Amino acid sequence: MEPISQSDNADQRVHRRRVFYIPGYDPIHPRRYRELYRKEGQEQARISGYKLDLKPKKTGGPYGWHVTGSIDCAVTEADVEVLVWADIVKTSMARGIAATYLQLMRTAYAYIGSGALFRLAGLRKGPMIAALYPIVFLLTQLLIACLAGWGIGEVVSLVHPALGWAAGLGVVWAMLRAFKRWDNKVFAYYLMHDYAYSAQAGGANPPELEARMTAFRLSIRNALTAGFDEVLVVGHSSGAHLAVSILADLLREGLPKDAARLALLTLGQVVPMVSFLPQAKRLRGDLRYLSAQDALVWVDVTAPGDGCAFALCDPVAVTGVAPPDKLWPLVISAAFTQTLSPERWKELRWKFFRLHFQYLCAFDRPGDYDYFQITAGPRTLADRYRTRVPSKSRITRPASGYRDVV
């Protein structure tokens, strides 16, 4: 792919920007993202020598904030809105222990039975380890509980044979409940629900998610004619494939007259986890369509150090739906081992969940990727990466066994 050249317009400065942030599968309150932006933005500003000032939001929407960036001798006003679907996530996670183990079996069948698991493993080992982790951990917990229950049951049977089974089952259930209470430290249940949500319909979006995505699309469309110079959509983790489908629908409708520049930034994407499933026809069609549109710029940022993402995997190409006139995405690396000092990298390298959010955080040896300059700086995404070529180590080999589209 050639370096970005979206416009011949010499005036690429951004005075006002609207940013829509789409989180991944995350049940927490969106205030976390504001606090993360505030804390990490201040640190990046200190390191890189610019200034960020956060204030309460000035636009509509359920949750967001206003940021003023003083960068490169220019002042840029940015309104950031979190497109919230945490309530849907919470509902999907509201399952008991038995239902979670049933979910485990269904999800394993969805990925193994379709062959997707083995094709995904051929791309990147890290996400596959992350996917197998909750299965192995939950089965290990079940095994430990069953062994403990069997042992207690045998002991009780020596005293009162009729109570042996009851005691054993009681111990199994009590231990499984204890493991579930401790899940905020090991995240086995959380990850199980995450993968199960994508796999429950073979990769098709559940109706409640489609309805929310429609609402998101309307918010983005309204912003395009609200006087902003750039409308930037940021999709992180699972939010990346939601952003792809939302913007594909938006462009199919046709952009309004005099629309702001439109840009898509995907971070730490896990698109193949969905697009490789048999019923992900809608997503595959959206990937194919969006990748050939010159009405927006799409930059995809990952890093091999992020074991939860499909690092440097071109989501369109590896899914096998790249059209002949493909333009996007521009696949680049955040290169954690280079943009983080050896001391910082040593501190973070085994904190897998923290590294998955590093794209939203400060780098003490920043390269050409800076989340805060992208969201609050005076340059459009197109201008920032105008001469950037794709990462040489990106993966473009078609690997999905399912390539039919809607």
Q: What is the pLDDT along the chain (406 residues), one digit of tens a residue?
A: 555 544 444 356 899 999 999 999 999 888 999 999 999 999 999 999 999 999 998 777 788 999 999 999 999 999 999 999 999 999 999 889 999 999 999 999 999 999 999 999 999 888 888 888 899 999 999 999 999 999 998 998 888 877 888 998 999 999 999 999 988 888 888 889 999 998 888 999 999 999 999 999 999 999 999 999 999 999 999 999 999 999 999 999 999 999 999 999 999 999 999 999 999 999 999 999 999 999 999 999 999 999 999 999 999 999 999 999 999 999 999 999 999 999 999 999 989 889 999 999 999 999 999 999 999 999 999 999 999 999 999 999 999 999 999 8
Determine the pLDDT at residue 6.
45
Determine the pLDDT at residue 319.
97
**In the chain, where the domains are located:** 16-87+207-368, 96-199
Determine the pLDDT at residue 284.
98
CA distance 109 to 131: 13
Quick check: helix, strand or coil at residue 58? coil
- What is the tens place of the pLDDT at every residue in 357-392? 999 999 999 999 999 999 999 999 999 999 999 999
Determine the pLDDT at residue 125.
86
CA distance 277 to 320: 13
Torsion of CA 397, 400, 403, 406, to 10 degrees: -110
Determine the pLDDT at residue 10.
39
User: Quick one: 50 exposed, middle or buried, by C-beta within 10 A (0-12, 13-18, 19+)?
Assistant: buried
Determine the pLDDT at residue 7.
44
C-alpha distances out from residue 120 to 40, 73, 109, 201, 235, Å: 33, 45, 15, 18, 21
Domain 16-87+207-368 class? alpha beta
Quick check: helix, strand or coil at residue 238? coil
Q: What DSSP assignment string belongs to 3-40?
A: PP-----S--B-SEEEEEEE--S--S-THHHHHHHHHH
CA distance 63 to 80: 9
